[in-house]
Amino acid sequence: MPIIPSWGWWAIGGAGALVALIGVVLLVVLAWRRQERKYVVRLVAQREAVRAGLRSLSEVVVRLAEDTDDELTAFVSDERHLDRKALGELHRQQAIVRDELQTVALPKDLWGAADALTAAAAAVAREAGRVGEHAGADDVLTALGEVDLAAARAAVDTADAAVHDVCERFGLEDAAVYGGGLYI
C-alpha cells in the first residue's frame, strides 16, 4: 500500500476545491443565463401587448373612417360610444405597458430593446389618447384626423426588430404568442 505524502493530500484537496469552484461558477453562469432568458420572455410578452395595441388602434381608426355620417356623429357626440371607450382603454393599457417597461430592472444587454418597446408603447398610447382629450365634436374630429398610425407603426416596427435581435442572441428564435399564451 503506497503512502501518500502530506503535500499529496494538499494537492488532492486543492484539485477538489478547484473542481468545486468551477462547478459553482458554471452553476452561477447557467442561473444567470436562465434569468436573462426569463427577462427576454417578458420582453416578448410586452412586445405582443404593444403589437395588439397597434392592431386595435388601427382597427378602430379604419372602422371609423368607413363609418357613415350618422355613426361618426354618434362617435363624436357620445363620450360613452364603444369606439371612444376602446380608444380610452387602449390609451390606459399602453400607458401601463410603457410605465412597466420604464421601471423594470433588466440586464444591460436588454436595455436597448426595452427602450424601443417603451417608445413604441408610448407612441401607441399617445395616438390612442388623442381623441379622449377633447370634448367638443369638432375637436374630436380634428383629433381623430391627427392620429398618426404611420408613426406608431414605425415605433412598433423598430421595437419589434430590437426584440427580435435580442431573441436571436439568446436563442429564442421561435418565440410566438398564440391565443394569449407564450410559447418558446
To which residue does cell 501518500 refer?
4
Residue 92 to residue 86: CA distance in whole angstroms: 10
pLDDT of 58: 95
- Judged on CB neighbours under 10 Å (0-12, 13-18, 19+), 117 is buried
Give the residue from 131, 108, 133, 119 showing the smallest Cα distance to 161.
119
Q: Look at residue 66 in the predicted model and tell me its pLDDT.
A: 92
Q: Is 86 left (phi over 0), alpha (psi -120 to 50) or beta?
A: alpha
pLDDT at position 134, please? 64
DSSP state of 173: T
What pLDDT, on a 0 to 100 scale, did the predictor assign at position 128?
92
Q: How far is CA 30 from CA 19, 20, 23, 33, 163, in A?
A: 16, 15, 11, 5, 22
Quote the pLDDT of residue 54: 97
The pLDDT tens digits for 93-115 are: 999 999 999 999 888 989 999 99
Q: Which amino acid is at 146?
A: E
pLDDT attached to residue 173: 66
pLDDT at 139: 83
Q: Which parts of the chain sit beneath pLDDT 70?
A: 1, 133-135, 173-184
- Domain borders along the chain are 45-172
pLDDT for residue 182:
55
End-to-end CA gap in the chain: 57
Q: Quick one: CA dihedral 39, 45, 49, 54, positive or negative?
A: positive
DSSP state of 136: S
